[in-house]
Chain A
């Protein structure tokens, strides 16, 4: 770390701005500024009329928000999104944890191969994968129903039945995302000192008690990180329903908040309204993240 007592030299400061300038400019101009603009946009009724003639633009205050909160479709999107996050999130993290524990186990031979296999889905392009799963989910020709048939389960119309469409998306997301979390959790597991396990074994603790008393508490910060990142990512659910279930079908059972924002913004061009949806999404994510961190810190105390 640089000596805090050393005052910055002008040439160094100039160099610093030269180095930091371009990056900060890009982030400011193409990320921060648009986000601030989104807030402003959500207070107007910007739409195609305004694109044709800017004088058609009006400031409407919180009218977009009040209409949003009374819109049935918005609440359905919220329900769907929360369903996805609250079911898919924990499931994904559980599967990641199980996988991490397995590849980190001292008993495991060739952990690298398994790690590669589990991680492969995470680097694939979602659009391509959604196309693959669309066929896997086909009620007649899909491999999934075929496999279920071996267990005597009748074919399920995964993407056509309003009860099964969201579970279909959840399954896809678990498959795609558990690998990335697994790597992080595995690293966290690796950093737990062996001495702690030794001490537990001396006290006669079996495999389960070791897990509960040593592994999980020591893993808590990493676990929290994984949980928060998954949560943030999952709230932004968009590409899967966009490609897999043709934008929210069947009957809007897979319409997510982000997808609603896209439809309102890029299909019907109610851009002010869509910006309001986006902002609500941001607030929800912020609240959920804060809650999660708060809870975790509370438990630590």
Chain B
């Protein structure tokens, strides 16, 4: 046969050989595939050698995935049948993954575990991982949103302490705005984010969805009031109608006093410390969310965000994965992780450590975490959040009324949930 054919045959064989699936660690032991997201993905690699030392025979292969398309990638992997052994996932994604039966129930492991004690976790946070009564993930670090504010601007406006109720808050904002003048605002609320209206709605006790989470409930009196309050902040000039892509630099503008309040999460503690000039560092502070006026409790509730560790059902090494989850969930490990990333631990015990207990900026988070509620646990929640801000934006810009916007929102959400209703109907036992 001609040399050409032989050459082609060689190339073919070479390509085929390289496509053969790689076996697990050839000698002994097990390799776990761990998908970690964003910065946490980089940092967790530093913690792995310790785990491997304590558990000879287990190797962990960490794949770092940018946050930007992590959600897509996870779902693609689930649909395609190529999930890793375990992954760090945003806790709002857990209902979706549970619905696909892609992630395992962990109740049994939790009850047997000496490291993971449910009691030690913030209740609102633990709750985000429970779907249909079963535990589907272990909270790793937490995230919630609260006020970051300029202490000096507030003090000058007659507020040495941060506001604790909505009316105090509104008054503070008005005073700051009038002192600031044109071109300055009281609060930054990016119009393409859903967290703020959702938080305000939750504070008033809005359910957001009704009837077993099968219909939109954005026209409820509670949410209506919250949306009115929210849109009112823009209309009265207290907040600029900017989207995230229009904001030049959050940090520069905060330092310049363009706004005095900003509702954001724990990662910004580190960012503010890094990016604000040195003379600004004693002029900002965090504070829990103000509570609505007639509320008995303080602070006002906020969202229960954060990331969890999940075990995929297709994994062939569930015991080893559980060992890794326990390792990362040990309070000491959580503290170390916090020191490396600034992320807040999900366990109360971890908060007792000096690095956290002594930090004045994280104290507000500690208080807030006692009062967090999960998002509605429907697989469609991610999609619904997009609709929330997209429906409110025209109202913010004065192109429609709040009532019309909420009617539109309910209509869209009802349609998104149509499939869910059918599936639940089908599952319901007849007779």
Contact = CB atoms under 8 A, between A and B. Distances in A.
A51 B79 contact: yes
Nearest to A55: B426
Contacts, number: 42
Interface residues of B, number: 21
Interface string B89-102: 00000001001110
Interface in A257-271: 266-269
B419 A45 contact: yes
B246 A47 contact: no
Nearest to A268: B383
Interface pairs A-B: 8 shortest CB-CB: A52-B100, A250-B245, A160-B245, A267-B72, A49-B423, A268-B383, A56-B423, A51-B79
B75 interface: yes
Contact of A269 (B75, B243, B426): B75
Contact of B419 (A49, A160, A267): A49
Interface string B366-379: 00000000000001
A211 interface: no
A48 interface: yes
Interface string A69-94: 00000000000000000000000000
B383 A48 contact: no
B55 interface: no
A92 to B, nearest CB: 28
A249 B72 contact: no
Interface of B: 71-72, 75-76, 78-79, 96, 99-101, 243, 245-246, 379, 382-383, 419-420, 422-423, 426
Given A48-B75, A48-B100, A52-B101, A250 B243 contact: yes
B123 to A, nearest CB: 29
Given A266-B72, A267-B71, A268-B383, A48 B243 contact: no
A163 interface: no
B76 A52 contact: no
B9 to A, nearest CB: 16
Secondary structure call for the B interface: helix
Given A250-B243, A266-B75, 10 more contacts: A48-B75, A48-B99, A48-B379, A49-B379, A51-B79, A160-B246, A249-B245, A250-B245, A250-B246, A269-B79
Contacts of A294: none
Contact of A266 (B76, B101, B419): B76
Contacts of B422: 56, 58
Chain A: number of interface residues, binned into ranges: 10 to 19
B99 A52 contact: yes
Given A56-B426, A266-B76, A269-B79, A49 B99 contact: yes
Contacts of B423: 49, 56
Q: Determine which residue in B382, B419, B422 has the highest number of CB atoms from chain A within 10 A of its CB, and name it.
A: B419
Nearest to B192: A251
14 contacts: A47-B419, A48-B79, A48-B96, A48-B379, A49-B99, A51-B78, A51-B79, A52-B100, A56-B422, A160-B245, A249-B245, A250-B243, A266-B76, A268-B383
Contacts of B75: 48, 266-267, 269
Q: Determine which residue in B76, B383, B420, B423 has the highest number of CB atoms from chain A within 10 A of its CB, and name it.
A: B423
Contacts of B99: 48-49, 52
Contacts of B101: 52
Interface in A279-294: none
Contacts of A58: 422
A52 B60 CA distance: 29
A236 B72 CA distance: 21
Contacts of A56: 419, 422-423, 426
A26 B71 CA distance: 32
Contacts of A55: 426
B312 to A, nearest CB: 14
